[in-house]
Structure 1
Amino acid sequence: MDRRAFMGAAALPIAAGLAPAFGQAAWPSQNIRMVVPFPPGGQADLAARPVAQSLEKLLGRPVVVDNRGGAGGAIGNTAVARSTPDGHTLLMTLSSLAVLPEADRLMARAVQYEVDHLVPIARVLADPTLLAVNARAPWKSVADLVADAKARPGVIPYGSSGPYGTLHVSMEMFATNAEIRMNHIPYRGAGPALTDLISGNIQALASAPGVLKQQVEAGTIRVLANFGAERIPSFPDTPTFRELGYPDVEFYIWAGLFGPAGMPGAVVTKLRDTMKTTMADAEVRRVFDNAGSPPAYQDQPEFAAFIASDSARLIRAVRKIGRVEGG
């Protein structure tokens, strides 16, 4: 585990509580901007919109979702990490949060932000990714796809949310363990990648259940496998990679709310309390359940500990994958 990126994660609640107050004005004193570092249609966007609507009602100020995609999520993550820590700029981001600084180091690039530049507020969703293919593709199973990929190395195109983003890492984890090579096509987010999967411009995509469910029901895509440790209620007939003989292929795409480090402790506390109310709201839970991504709420202390452990696992996976073409 990289100490610069992750040792601060568990201490973030303490650091936030020691932050100096920004004057005496009541918070929020202006509109709140919730940055989603991906285009509409992906897991972070799915998490952000019901949460933003609830926060707006509870806080009495507009909460504007700002989709700022690019670089696998790094552009939006960096923008919030560098923003004024007054509680009026928030971030709804994914598990790639911890991977992207490590990818910068791996690729010998300047690191744009570290995890401890952001303070966790609450986890919202936590789903295993699913491996989906175009419904017109010939593969009816993972074994079919692996056999074809071995016969045509580097040919079958798959999409991702950007280099070393959540969807890229999960697919490279699969490819590494299956000893195959596919053609990585990066997009600015899962939404555009899903559009091209449906049209047939790419042939495979790993994404969250809530992102894929409607298209599976419409018959435009087919799901072959589940990256989780066990089957999920929204896709009960989809086997896990563990069941298929790939015990090391396990990946979860979580979404959580963050703010820039240094926010006043009173603001962090109010955000935590508001998120607790939001995630208990029946309408918010109904939206997530209907999308096939049930709520997976964690308050700040549990979420910070979860980030530290999940990040360590993902960094090990990225280091094992190493430098990849298109990274």
Structure 2
Amino acid sequence: MISSTAPPSAATATTAEEDSTTSFSSLHPDIIEAHILPRLDGITLAATSCSSTTLRHHSSQDHLWSKTCHSTWPSTRSPRVCQVISTYPDGGPRNFFSHAFPLLEDHSSSNLSRLSSLTPPSELISAVDIHYQDKLIFTKVRETETVTGWFRCSPFRIDLLEPKEVVPTPMKHPDGDDTCTAISNDMTLSWILIDPIRRLVVNLSSHKPITVQRHWLTGEVQVRFASILAADRGHVQCGIVVTCGGSEEGEMQMREISLEIEDMDGMHINGKESLGILQRAMEGKKGKGGNRVQEGQRRYREYLEVKKERKERKVRTEGTLDILCVAFGVSCFVAFWSFILFR
């Protein structure tokens, strides 16, 4: 005789699941919003909001996402950035986080026509945070005017530190490759670029360093973060360089933090063209946040491979032209002397 009741194990699992659901649902909303959800990071909070209608309601509160933005990027506590976040369209702080956290989707130059061709922004806000071993070591907000002729004609560059300004860090001065490896593994950087007029944002950092190099003579360490952006003539590298030098106490000091954009030939792009590239990046779709470090490193490696192939192709072309020029010169020389001797 076959029993119609469920197996004991299945019944136990069902009962446990029902008890778990009932227990969580029976919690007071204030406990969920004040003690549980604020402990989650942005990615977990977003995933939680998709699990049920009730949790979606609790997880959509602006104060939760404002706190998440501030804890993820302390620079967003600045009144100027807070103003942008509070008026950000379609969800305020939550939408700001969804645009500022993930890596950009890779747009080919053929898809750029789909993006807006509005007037470039007249002002940019940079919200920058640097962590080492999960501890904040630097945060700053820099406003940059982009309407002057000097800015638009000069190579695009944003500096966060003054020429003689230094920032102490807990990092030890490198005495070998181990310190450079520690910096590569333990340093993270976020550079959020904001268009305050149109309320557009983009994070231009690879989150973790792409390369960490120590100068053999000066001992300075250059930590490079990068994003690969689409442009009319291919792809360009948006590079963030943190230059660190040793102090008398043996600790590292950050002496330069800068943002530049260069093409595949290594030429720095001027401000006017860079504004167009950055505007399209801010208007473009954002990818998923889970694999941004691996995806950013993959794109950078592909960019270097294309850059290397482009350089080798250029060298071959120049070599072929040199041979043709030499052959043409020899032919002219032989023709000239043949005309002189046999006329």
Report TM bin, short chain: under 0.3
Q: Which structure would you say has the larger Rg?
A: 2
TM-score (norm 2): 0.23
More strand by share: 2
